[in-house]
Amino acid sequence: VWTGECSEALRFAWEGSDSGQREDLLWCIKNGLIESCVLPYTFHTHLMSRNLLRRAIRRSFELREEIGAAGMLDLSVAQQNDVPGHNWVLPDLLAEAGVKRAIVGHNWLVRGCPLPPLFRWRGPDGGEVLTLDLMHELRRKCRGAREAG
């Protein structure tokens, strides 16, 4: 199974394909071999307005309709990785779009705030997504290496 971190990778594959390749791509989506997360790119979301973030999320749902993958392509997971932080309204907008789960990880050079490995991320309006912090395991390994030596 290939899961695209960003939905624009799927758009590029679709737009760069001939009709036979598009049929193959849809077959793979229908059979669960290709999946995509809901965000079109990995963003510096703290630089984006609520409306711009909402438009970015909507773009993935529009892509699903455009390629005929409605009912086949699950967009209930968001991944936002290798960024310096996350916009505090992101969980509200993800929940609004029907996203249930998120995977986050800030750039390893940025300290950020310590997060539990799994938590309910709530936005200011009460929207929430179950969130996995990828950096938790990296921090644990770094602490272990530092202590060992």
Higher pLDDT, 12 or 48: 12
Element (DSSP H or E) covering residue 44: none
The string of DSSP letters for 20-32 reads: HHHHHHHHHHHTT
CB proximity list for 68: less than 8 A, separation 6 or greater:
26
- What pLDDT was estimated at residue 46? 79
* Among 12-21, 55-64, 74-83, 100-109, the least confident range: 100-109
The tens digit of pLDDT for each residue in 116-134 reads 889 999 999 999 999 998 8
Q: Give the residue from 115, 112, 10 showing the smallest Cα distance to 61.
A: 10
pTM for this model (two decimals): 0.85
Residue 4: helix, strand or coil by DSSP?
A: strand
